[in-house]
Amino acid sequence: MIVPLSWLKEYVDITLTPKELGEKLTEVGLGCEKIIKTKDDVIFELEITPNRPDCLSIIGVAREIAAIENKKIKFPQLPNILKTQKPLPLIVKTDSKINPRFTGIIISGIKVGESPKWLKEKLEKMNQRPINNIVDITNYVMLELGNPIHAFDYDKIIGNIMTVSQTKGGEKFESVDGIAYRLPKDAVVISDKEKIIDLCGIKGGKNSGTYKETKTIFIRVPVEIPNLIRKSSQALGLRSDASSIFERGVNAGGTIDALKRTTDLVLELAGGKIASNPYDLKEINFKPWKLKLRKDRLNQILGINIPLKKTIDILESLNLSPVHLPGEQRRHLDDARKGGRIECTIPTYRNDLKIEEDLIEEVARIYGYNNFPKTMPKGVIPTVQVPYFKDYALDEKVKNILKASGFSEIYTYSLIGDKDLTENNIDPEKILRVDNPVSRDFEYLRPTLKINLLKAFIQNKSNFEKINLFELGKVYSGKSLDEAKEIYYLSGITNNKNFFEVKGLLEKIFEDLGIKENSTKYIEILNDGIFFEINYSELIKDFNPNKTFKPLPKYPPIVEDLSIITEGDVKTSDLISEIKNQSPLVVDVSLLDQFKNSKTFHIVYQDKNKNLTGEGVAEIREKILKSLQSKFHAELNN
Amino acid sequence: MEEELMQIKNSAVSMIIDASDQKELEEIKLQFLGRSGKLTLTLKEITKIPAEKRAIVGQLANEVKRVIEESIESKLSSLISYFSSQRKQNIDVTAPGIKPGIGHLHPMTQVLHDVIDIFKGIGFQVADGPEIETDYYNFTALNMPPNAPSRDTQATLYLDTKNSNAQPGQILLRTQTSNMQVRTMEKIKPPVRVIVPGKVYRVDDVDASHGFEFWQLEGFCIDKNVRLTDLFGTIDYVLKKVYGEKTKIKFATTNFGFVEPGVDTYMECTVCKGKGCNFCKQSGWSEIMPAGMVHPNVLKAAGYDSQKVSGFAFCIGLSRLVTLRYQMDDLRLLTNPDLRILEQF
């Protein structure tokens, strides 16, 4: 919303400097994004939240400033609408379910022409293009008061009839700016005897607009159903100033004021005379409503005691007509009633004020969020484990092992393109997909971390010789949403470590997590590196945080290296387990060295109950050699 | 005897000064202070002198001992540094060091773990939730019913429902980690203090401060008598812990369906130090954390009685928090796997 300071000043005295005003407006909820100084004015650009359609008008912003400055607002002078003895004929058929209020009047004998300078300048400051005096007045009053208004050329309404109805879908409509549309189903439109003349709440029709030759106009100030406007506007991809107001909820009690203001200006700037009694078709009276605020509840939610007088002043400055009903002092009543209630009367332009908490916000924001003290929650700290608990300390532990091993961590997008999939021989048909992707490159949910890691690997090749990368992140499995699962994967890629180093790294991770798992199956040997990918969510289910201290051995071990020559294809792991199996006194076996078919094992013998003797070890060694020979035809290498 | 002690001191000190290595110093120490060292032996004679002089002599003997010990110590340290510098001369110490081959944790991880630690310190637990979410938990349960204009600010990526029982538009990629509010609350009773870090998705044009995939950190605290001042205090505490006690923070009113009153948090832009830059859209402030008191309708959806419990919720733009912490001027740096970026952290 663009707001010129000069226009605001017509309704409220402003003492704050533009910079201070901008800051205060932001604090109360009208986010001031820019302050532009022009040669004769200051323009504020405000971000209006969806709950405040009233602030899509100058008067709405002026009201907020009046509350900030604690001043009264000067509402424009409105005439009483004159009735006429000789009304022109016009039948209006409407339905409050699709058009809750239809306010309007006919003015005849007008002269369409250029707007006066002051009006054109005002519109231009608001980035609006002046068109002619009638259209400009309707735009002006909408910007001023926040009620959208449309002027029809009365003489083009065939049959003197206006019928509000919903479309069946597919109807042709040409907007006042000359663009042709096919209307969606359920759009609210006005038709005359022959054709659609208005797309309600969004755009007027070209066939009934106000042009040079127009002599008689019908001014319509409606209330529309937000959802219906929203749906049509979205379906057509067509938004207007009017539709943004109607979508969010127009001031339903403001149509008569807007009609008076418009009529007054038309008579002044375009001449003519009132040619109908005012129309105001509605089923309910759009009256202000009552809302109560318990003073004790206010204190309780805010955490401070704003004095009663200050509270009343704030509500008064917001035009909410507060009336304090003192609390009952009888002892048995609970605390909540002691401070009494403040009954407010909510003006129809404040559709956002519906519950007590809304009033609490009103008091708090005008009091000023930055004037509040800061406290910490007082209650008990929860000790029961929260649902959906995640142990980030475990992630940190794993990541630190990878980091210590030289791997750097990356974060990549979960969304990938179909090309990414097909290049990696994955059928996109079997991958979860977004219906409305931001681009083809980000259409599918990744089923693996490999694709992004490979890309990262290639990207870094131009700058680095040695690359070690990993990611711990979600992958998304399931061919359709019914089977969709989000699983954490831990994956890495390296061209700087060999298979055994990666294997050892994974073994170290498993060991630290207390998990018994074979790491080989997670490792893939690529053309130019090693890749690993682990289903991390699955893996950490076996996480065992318990570590038990084992007392240090009282008796020294005997250590020896045995070189073995094997024949044919013998697996090292088989040899190691065979050696271990020969005696419980063999406490550790590791591969020290290998060359061709010779392998040297480092063997630790230890008895926790007594000193081992050379003879005892020789006995075990014999057993080992014997079994290795019989099972693997392995011989001692002398 | 006093003279004798002075001689011992002088000869010891001159020997210490002349010593050329550690071994020699050890020998000197033994020679004077050892069990049969010169000073020790001399002191044994102290019984032979008249009683009234013993105190003075004893004092002097202690002084001599102290001087010898200190001289040895200082000589020893000068010898050590002398030898070290001698050895350094044998190599070119100006050649670059050989760093251990340690990798780097992503800045997101580093900040996330810091933030988690800070919240743990004030009693919050950490939860994790789905990114593939229903419309209900992402919007409707949060007082954002279908067609609520408040949904406009969160353009949503919807998932393809083919071959599934879901209706089009029903399943989406969560637009906010707030989806975990009702999910968590409906499973437990207050008191609740939870944070939920995670990825969220929006239909958005990508630029320096926007993206279609980014990180948030949701938090909420529900209990009897949780107050707006508690929200202000918690945000202030956390941001000052992350960015330092001098961090400038301001609060403003805003509107999100699931909070009332609604609060927005701004922090002085760390990139330009409040002067205005592209990252903060020239405002000098960075919007970092929408928050507010949990709306009664949300408490109701969770099965809580809004007259008995109250609470606050906030949603930290985690990606933005990270970039602000390291003065990175573009959110896209966080998803760029270039090691030249990663190695800076």
Alpha helices in A92-152 (DSSP H): 117-125, 133-145
- Tell me which residue range forms the domain holding A407: 392-542
pLDDT tens digit sequence for A20-51: 999 999 999 999 999 999 999 999 999 999 89
Pick the closest to residue A177 from A199, A162, A148 (CA basis): A199
Question: CB of A199 within 8 Å of any CB in chain B?
Answer: no
Q: How many separate domains does chain A show? A: 5
Q: Mean of the per-residue pLDDT values for chain A?
A: 93
Whether B112 and B150 map to the same domain: the answer is: yes
Q: Which of B63, B89, B115 is the last residue of a domain?
A: B89
A386 within a domain of the structure (yes/no): no
Q: Is residue A380 part of a domain?
A: no
Question: Quick one: closest CA in A to B283, which residue?
Answer: A33
Q: How far apart are CA A380 and CA A336, in angstroms?
A: 23
Is B99 within a domain? no
Assign residue A573 the CATH number of its domain: 3.30.70.380
Neighbours of A509 (CB within 10 A): 21
Domain-terminating residue out of A338, A370, A402: A370
Q: Residue A197: in which H helix or E strand, if any?
A: strand A196-199
Position A327 pLDDT exceeds 80:
no
A145 with A43, same domain: the answer is: no
Partner-chain contact A360 B113, CB within 8 Å: no
pLDDT in tens, B204-243: 888 887 889 999 999 999 999 999 999 999 999 999 999 8
Tell me the torsion sign for CA atoms B269, B270, B274, B276. Answer: negative
Which of A75, A76, A60, A73 shows the shortest CA–CA distance to A28? A60
User: Domain boundary residue among A282, A305, A325?
Assistant: A282
Regarding whether B112 and B52 lie in a shared domain, the answer is no
Give A627's DSSP letter.
H
* Pair B229, B323 in one domain: yes
CATH code of residue A455: 3.30.930.10
Distance CA A400, CA A413 (A): 22
The string over B68-107, giving b where at least 16 C-beta atoms fall within 10 Å of a residue's C-beta and e elsewhere, is beebbeebbeebeeeeeeeeeeeeeeeeeeeeeeebbbbb
pLDDT tens across A143-197, in order?
999 999 999 999 999 999 999 999 999 999 999 999 999 999 999 999 999 999 9
Average pLDDT, rounded, for chain B: 91
Q: Strand, coil or helix: what is B256?
A: coil
Q: Say if residue A270 is in the same domain as residue A302.
A: no
CB contact under 8 A, B261 and A364: yes
Beta carbons of A146 and A351 less than 8 angstroms apart: no
Instruction: Judge if A366 and A449 occupy the same domain.
Output: no
Contact indicator for A586, A592 with CB cutoff of 8 Å: no
What are residue A530's phi and psi, to 5 degrees?
-125, 135
Please report residues of B whose CB lies closer than 8 A to that of A358.
260
Q: Give the Cα separation of A194 and B42 in Å (integer).
A: 134
Q: Which of B184, B263, B295 sits opposite A387 (nearest CB)?
A: B184
Short-list A431, A437, A481, CA closest to B166:
A481
Between β-strands B125-126 and B192-201, what pairing exists: parallel, antiparallel or unpaired? parallel
Residues B81 and B111 reside in one and the same domain: no
DSSP, residue by residue, B131-164:
SEEEHHHHTGGGT--TT-GGGGGS--PBBP-TTS
Residue B141 · residue B163 · CB < 8 Å: no
In chain B, what residues touch A401 (CB-CB under 8 Å)?
none
Q: Are residues B81 and B116 in the same domain?
A: no
Residue A191 shares a structural domain with residue A277: yes
Same domain, B140 and B198: yes
Tokens, residue A33: 């994004």
A624 is written with which tokens?
A: 């080992």
Residue A402 CB neighbour total at 10 angstroms: 23
The answer to whether position B236 is within a domain reads: yes
Q: Report yes or no: A50 and B255 within 8 Å, Cβ to Cβ.
A: yes
Domain boundary among A493, A516, A542: A542
CB atoms near residue B62 (< 10 Å): 11
Q: Please, which residues 387-426 of chain A have a Cβ atom closer than 8 Å to chain B?
A: 387-392, 396, 399-400, 402-415
Angle between helices A295-302 and A308-317 (to 10 degrees): 90
Total Cβ atoms within 10 A of residue A212: 8
Domain annotation covers residue B102: no
Q: What pLDDT is recorded for position A476?
A: 97
Q: What is the distance, to the nearest Å, from the Cα of residue A57 to the centroid of all Cα atoms in its chain? A: 26
- Which bin fits A40, alpha (ψ -120 to 50), beta or left (φ > 0)? alpha
Q: Using pLDDT thresholds of 50, 70 and 90, give the confidence band for residue B270.
A: confident
Cβ–Cβ below 8 Å for A406 and B224: no
Among A190-204, A356-370, A551-565, B270-284, where is mean pLDDT lowest?
A: B270-284
Beta bridge partners of A221: A103
- Chosen for mutation from B113, B156, B165, B227 (greatest number of chain A CBs closer than 10 Å) is B227
The amino acid sitting at A239 is R
Between chains, do A386 and B166 touch, taking CB under 8 Å as contact?
no
Asked if residue B308 is part of any domain, the answer here is yes
Domain-terminating residue out of B89, B120, B143: B89
| B136 min Cα distance to partner chain A (Å) | 16
Provide the pLDDT confidence category of residue A336 given band limits of 50, 70 and 90: very low
A74 within some domain: no
Averaged pLDDT for residues A333-343? 70
Predicted confidence band of residue B280 (pLDDT cuts 50, 70, 90): confident
Mark whether B126 and B66 lie in a shared domain: no
B182 and B314 both lie in a single domain: yes
Beta-carbon separation of B159 and A304 below 8 A: no
Question: Who among B105, B201, B250 is closest to A399 (CB)?
Answer: B105
The owner of tokens 């003075």 is B56
User: SS3 of A354, please?
Assistant: coil
Contacts of A521 (CB under 8 A, 6+ apart): none
Contact B159 A452 (CB under 8 A): no
User: How far does the CA of residue A376 sit from the closest CA of chain B (Å)?
Assistant: 5
> Residue A41 corresponds to which tokens in the numbers above?
């004015």
- ipTM summary value: 0.87
Residue A282: band (very low, low, confident or very high) from pLDDT cuts 50, 70, 90: very high
Closest to B229 measured CA to CA, from B202, B259, B261: B261
Q: Does residue A548 form part of some domain?
A: no
Helix (H, G, I), strand (E, B) or coil at B180: helix
CB A450 within 8 A of CB A424: yes
On whether residue B100 sits in a domain, the answer given is no
What is the mean predicted confidence (pLDDT) over A275-289?
94
With tokens 């890749």, the residue in question is: A531
- Among B101, B159, B221, beta carbon nearest to A377: B221
Does one domain contain both A111 and A242? yes
The CATH number for A313's domain is 3.30.56.10
**C-alpha pair distances (Å), A75 with each of A8, A146, A148, B208, B281:** 11, 13, 18, 43, 35
B328 phi/psi in degrees, rounded to 5: -85, 135
**Do residues B256 and A409 make contact, with C-beta atoms less than 8 angstroms apart?**
no
Query: Do A97 and A27 fall within a single domain?
Result: no
Q: Is A365 on the interface with B (CB under 8 A)?
A: yes
Do both A277 and A293 map to the same domain?
no
B84/B126 same-domain check:
no
Q: What residue has token string 């479309």?
A: A167
Is the same domain home to B272 and B127?
A: yes
Q: Look at A376 and B212 and tell me if their CB atoms are within 8 Å.
A: no
In a shared domain, residues B172 and B294: yes
| Residues A157 and A238 both lie in one domain | yes
pTM over 0.90: no
Distance, CA of A12 to CA of A22 (rounded, Å)? 15
Average pLDDT over residues A395-403: 96
Is pLDDT larger for residue A574 or for residue B154? A574
Q: So what's the pLDDT on residue A337?
A: 56
**Boundary (domain end) residue, out of B89, B118, B144:** B89
Question: Which CATH number goes with the domain that contains A221?
Answer: 3.50.40.10
Break chain B down into helix, strand, coil percent, rounded to 5: 45, 20, 35
Eight-state DSSP code of residue A479? S
Higher pLDDT, B308 or A638: B308
Q: How many CB pairs under 8 A join A and B?
A: 280
Whether B55 has a pLDDT exceeding 90, the answer reads: no
Interface contact A403-B157, CB threshold 8 A: no
Which one of B125, B184, B250 makes the best mutation probe of the A interface by having the most chain A beta carbons within 10 Å? B125
Q: Which of A302, A388, A484 sits opposite B129 (nearest CB)?
A: A388
CB-CB contact of A115 with A269 (8 Å): yes
Give residue B135's domain range: 107-342
DSSP code of A105? E
pLDDT value of position B52: 85
- Which residues sit opposite A81 in a β-bridge? none
**What CATH number did the domain enclosing B256 receive?**
3.30.930.10
Q: How far apart are CA A300 and CA A338, in angstroms?
A: 13
pLDDT of residue B46: 81
pLDDT score recorded for residue A334: 52
Per-residue burial over A592-619, b = 16 or more CB atoms within 10 Å of its CB, e = otherwise: eeeeeeebebebebbbeeeebeeebbee
How far apart (Å, rounded) are the C-alpha atoms in residues A499 and A273? 93
Q: Report strand pairing: A203-204 vs A196-199.
A: antiparallel
Do residues A471 and A487 share a domain? yes
* Distance (Å, whole) CA B97 – CA B95: 7
- Is B98 contained in some domain? no
Both A515 and A417 in one domain: the answer is yes
Report the number of distinct structural domains present in chain B. 2
* Residues 6+ positions from A38 with CB-CB distance below 8 Å: none
Q: How far apart are the first and last CA of chain A?
A: 92
Does residue A341 share a domain with residue A362? yes
DSSP letters along A407-460, please? -EE----SEE-HHHHHHTT--GGGS-BBSS-SSGGG-EE-S-SHHHHHHHHHHH
Question: CB–CB of A481 and B342 under 8 A?
Answer: no
pLDDT tens, residue by residue, B87-111: 888 888 889 998 888 999 999 999 9
Does residue A52 belong to any structural domain of this protein?
A: yes
Alpha-carbon distance of A574 to B71, in angstroms, equals 64
List the structure tokens of A94.
């409407």
Q: Cβ(B193)–Cβ(B125) under 8 Å?
A: yes
pLDDT above 90 covers a percentage of chain B that reads: 61
Q: Which of A454-463, A580-589, A627-636 has the highest mean pLDDT?
A: A454-463
Are both A222 and A118 inside the same structural domain?
yes
Which whole-number Å values give the CA distances from B82 to B14, B77, B86, in the listed order? 19, 8, 6
B13-46 pLDDT tens trace: 999 999 988 899 999 999 988 888 888 888 888 8
Q: Are residues B171 and B84 in the same domain?
A: no
| Contact A237/B at CB under 8 A | no
pLDDT digits 0-9 by tens, B122-142: 999 999 999 999 999 999 999
The CA distances from residue A509 to A403, A504, A515, A591, B206, in Å, are 12, 9, 9, 20, 37
Distance from C-alpha of B179 to C-alpha of B177, rounded to nearest angstrom: 5
For residue A175, give the 3-state DSSP assignment. Answer: strand
Distance CA B64, CA B58 (A): 10
